[in-house]
Amino acid sequence: MVVRDISNLKKFLGEIRNCVIWNGNNFEKFTKLDYLEAKKCKDCGMISTNPHLTEEGLLEYYQNYLTDRLSNDDPKEKILLEQRKFAYLVDRDWIFKFIDHGKVLDVGCSGGQFLNTFDPKQWDRLGVDVSQEDADFAKNEYGIEVKVGFLPEMHFDESFDLVMLRGVIEHISKPIEFLQKCYELLKPGGYLFITAAPVGDSFAFDVYREKWVLYNPVEHLHFFTVNLLDSKLLEFGLTLIDSHYQYQETPYANPQNDFKKIREDIVLIASGHDDQIKTSVPFPGSMLTAVWQKKD
Ligand SMILES: [Zn+2]
C-alpha cells in the first residue's frame, strides 16, 4: 500500500450520514484512525467510515493514484502488484463457474487490469471509471474501452450479461445508488459480481480494529457483509447465487504464520499491549466474493 499523509485532507471532512442500509442514525463507535472514525449501525450492524471525506477531498486524494502506484519503485510494491495479478485470476476463475462469455461491464475498472484477464474472444469488454487517466491507460495498454464518468449519471445503450465491482463498493460514497444502476444495466438472467471488498463482520476486523490492514478509512468508506448487501439487492430483484471468502487460494495466505500471529496478537490486545502490534495478518473471512442473478 502507498502510505500517504492524510493530515492535509482533514479540511475535507464531510457531515455525519445516516446508515446506507436502512437510513438509520443509531450508531456506536467501532474504531478510529487519526481523525477518521468507523461507526457501527446498532440496527443492522453496517460499519462505515462516518463522516468520510467529501467528493472534493476524495478527488484530491485519488489524483495521480494510478501513476503513483505504477511508478512506485519500492520492491514491496512490486511484489504486491505481482500478487494482485494472481488475485485477479483467482477472482476471474471463480466467476467463470457461473458465466464464461458475453458482455461484461467492469465498474471502477481502474486501468483495465482485471478486465484484461477476460479473453476478448469470449467477452465483449467495457469498463467504467471516474479517471480519464485510467481510461487512457486501459485503451493504450490493453485496447480496452473505458467510459469515464460517475456511473449513476451515465447513459448506456446496451445491457450486460455480467456487471462486476472488484475492490470498488467500499470506495463509493453512495454505494446503493451504484448498485441500483448496476441492477438496471443487467440483462434479465445477468449476473452481478462483487468481489475483493473488505468485510464488516470479519473476525480480523473485530480483533484488530484500526490496525486491520483493510481499515484504510480515507479509501474504504463502507464495510459491507454478504447479508447486508443481499438485503438491499433482494429489494432490487437480485437473487444471491453463491458467496465465498477467499483466503487459502490467494497469494497473501500463509495459514501457519497467520493463525499463530492472530493468536499471539489477541493475547497482546487482551493484556493491554496492543501498541506492540503494527498491523494485522491476512485471515479467512476478511474479503467477500459474491454473485447475484437478475430474474429472467
Ligand atoms: Zn443500519
Tally Cβ neighbours within 10 Å of residue 54: 16
- CA 44 – ligand 1 centroid, Å: 4
Predicted local distance difference test score (pLDDT) of residue 2: 42
Q: Where are the alpha helices (DSSP H) in the chain?
A: 55-62, 65-70, 75-95, 132-142, 175-185, 203-208, 226-236, 255-270
pLDDT tens string 165-209: 999 999 999 999 999 999 999 999 999 999 999 999 999 999 999
- CA 26 – ligand 1 centroid, Å: 8
- CA 240 – ligand 1 centroid, Å: 20
- CA 242 – ligand 1 centroid, Å: 23
Q: Per-residue pLDDT averaged across 33-43, rounded? A: 96
* % of the chain with per-residue pLDDT over 90: 83
* % of the chain with per-residue pLDDT over 70: 96
- CA 188 – ligand 1 centroid, Å: 29
- CA 134 – ligand 1 centroid, Å: 34
Q: Per-residue pLDDT averaged across 25-49, rounded? A: 96
Question: Residue 25: which residues within 8 A CB-CB, separation 6 or more?
Answer: 16, 18, 19
Find where cell 442500509 sits.
Answer: 21
Predicted local distance difference test score (pLDDT) of residue 1: 40
Predicted local distance difference test score (pLDDT) of residue 82: 87
Q: What is the DSSP string of 26-67?
A: -EEEEEEETTEEEEEETTT--EEESS-B-HHHHHHHHTTHHH
Higher model confidence: residue 252 or residue 114? 114
User: Which of the residue ranges 57-61, 114-118, 173-177 would you say has the lowest mean pLDDT?
Assistant: 57-61
Find where cell 463457474 sits.
Answer: 97
- CA 122 – ligand 1 centroid, Å: 40
CA 43 vs. chain centroid, Å, equals 23
For residue 251, say if its preceding peptide bond is cis, omega within 30 degrees of 0. Answer: no
pLDDT tens string 39-52: 999 999 999 999 99
Q: Would you put residue 146 in left (φ > 0), alpha (ψ -120 to 50) or beta?
A: beta
**Is pLDDT above 50 for 11?**
yes
